[in-house]
Amino acid sequence: MTDFERYVAEYSPDLTRFCMKLCADVHDAEDLFQDTWARAFDKFDRYKPENSFKSWLFTVCVNCFKNSKREKYNSSKAVFSTPEEKERFIRSIPAGEQDIDAYLDLHTAIHTLPKKHRVVLVLHYFREFSQGEIAMMLEIPEGTVKSRLSTAKKLLKRRLSREES
């Protein structure tokens, strides 16, 4: 087994969840997942083993996300044929969530955020990258990451508060 094959085996579950958090559509997430691995394979000679592979892979993923089908990714709603399809899919994600209904509400609210806020929120809170790492991945100042995180949290809090009412 090559190094790359080991990385695919090790990081595919994390990448799958990350793609689902970024994309508002199951099919787009699958496409993003495959595009990311294809791009990572093509650019694997540029990966420096002294750096975190996960960070490098997620940078590739974010770049694929930003560069492909922008109009599709700017959609603010998840695209499922039926509410049952969406719930069935969410319940199939092995995330260890205690309260699936709250998770479904959070998932929906996250996808209503503007892309620039959704990306930093997912990278920081769901993938546990530092603000500095996110700034490097997105090639933006760290202060911009902090500002976007703050705005994303406020927007998310407002949307979730409205849903409870």
20 Cβ partners below 8 Å, 6+ apart? Answer: 26, 29, 93
Query: For the structural domain made of 3-164, what CATH number should be given?
Result: 1.20.140.160
Residue 147's SS3 state is helix
Positive or negative: CA dihedral 70, 156, 21, 63: positive
- Of the candidates 81, 86, 160, 67, the residue with the CA atom closest to the CA atom of residue 121: 160
Structure tokens at 157: 């809090």
Q: How many CB atoms lie within 10 A of CB 55?
A: 17
Per-residue pLDDT of the chain (165 residues; tens, 9 = 90+): 788 899 999 999 999 999 998 887 888 899 999 999 999 999 999 998 898 999 999 999 998 988 775 544 444 344 566 767 766 666 665 555 455 666 677 778 888 889 899 989 888 888 888 898 888 888 899 999 999 999 999 998 888 887 665
Type of residue at 71: E
pTM value surpassing 0.75: no
Domain edges within the chain: 3-164
Work out whether the CA dihedral 101, 103, 105, 108 comes out positive or negative: negative
61 CB-near residues (< 8 Å, 6+ apart): 15, 18, 19, 22, 32, 36
